[in-house]
Amino acid sequence: ESGGLNRAKVYSIALDSMLSKVGGQDAPRLAPLMRRQSSNPNAHGGQDALRLVMRCVAWLAHTTEDGRGIRDFTSELVERAIRMANTAEFTAHEWHDLVDSQIKRGRLPLMTWIPEEGRDKFRFAHLTFQEFLCAEHILSTFERGDDRVDHERFADELTGLICPRGLTQVFERGWWQQVIQMFSDLARSTEAGTRYAVLLAEKLLGVTAESDNVRLRMVDDRNILTLVSLITDSSLVTSLA
């Protein structure tokens, strides 16, 4: 149920805790930023801005190479994410401060530093952090859409990334499984989010909301094996209760 505790909410709580500790005594230059709360309701405070950037990092890492994705990335990808986030509250300068004061010293459990042949590389400490933040980015992108046309366009873009060579890749490829499931967990908490989840599910399964015989709910841990079996036997799911 929307009010219950699910895996996505657990990850959200864990990330809140991790990011709330950024900018302590070990990072005096970051402390004012992380304490900052914007007076503009449409802008982001320091912690929110950092989370927004981390979502963009996760999205870029997960979708690069035509949706095949990567685990390890450099500061260049993070700086692309900062430009994508388009927030004045967290810039490339703050990122490099974060690297030096927190990440390289192992003080930010979210991120791992990998020195490789004289070049700094990074990765989310566990792939599920990347998957969760990517799911948050997907929901946020749907929410920013103005209308059904925007939502359809983004769902089509996602479908192309998740299964570029056919809809059976939804279940053949492991890279997107957890993202889909955590997006479903996040989206079901609101009526609008449920509509986004159904739209994406219908795109991924090749069915339409207008089909009278179709009742489709988003994939989750409880029904994915049943869903895989149905997809194996039929190209059209007529009912999933």
pLDDT in tens, 35-79: 554 443 344 456 889 999 999 999 999 999 989 999 999 999 999
Task: For strands 119-124 and 111-116, give the pairing.
Answer: antiparallel
Joined tokens for residue 89: 């509250």
Nearest to 59, CA basis, from 42, 90, 80: 80
- Partners of 114 in the beta sheet? 121
pTM equals: 0.81
**Range of lowest pLDDT (57-61, 75-79, 159-163, 170-174):** 170-174
- Give strand ranges (E) for the chain: 111-116, 119-124
Residue 10 has pLDDT above 80, yes or no: yes
Q: Which region holds residue 23: left if phi is over 0, alpha if psi is between -120 and 50, else beta?
A: left
Helix (H, G, I), strand (E, B) or coil at 142: helix
Instruction: State how far the Cα of 61 lies from the Cα of 132, in Å rounded to an integer.
Output: 12
Categorize the per-residue pLDDT at 235 as very low, low, confident or very high, splitting at 50, 70 and 90: very low
Residue 109 has pLDDT above 70, yes or no: yes
What is the total residue count of the chain?
Answer: 241
Residue 222 has pLDDT above 70, yes or no: no
The position carrying tokens 């699910």 is 6
pLDDT at 141 (0 to 100): 96
CB 46 within 8 A of CB 36: yes
Residue 211 has pLDDT above 50, yes or no: no
Helix (H, G, I), strand (E, B) or coil at 94: helix
Instruction: State how far the Cα of 140 lies from the Cα of 119, in Å rounded to an integer.
Output: 32
First-to-final CA distance of the chain: 15
Mean predicted confidence (pLDDT) in 206-220: 45
CA distances from 170 to 47, 87, 128, 186, 203 (A): 34, 33, 18, 19, 11
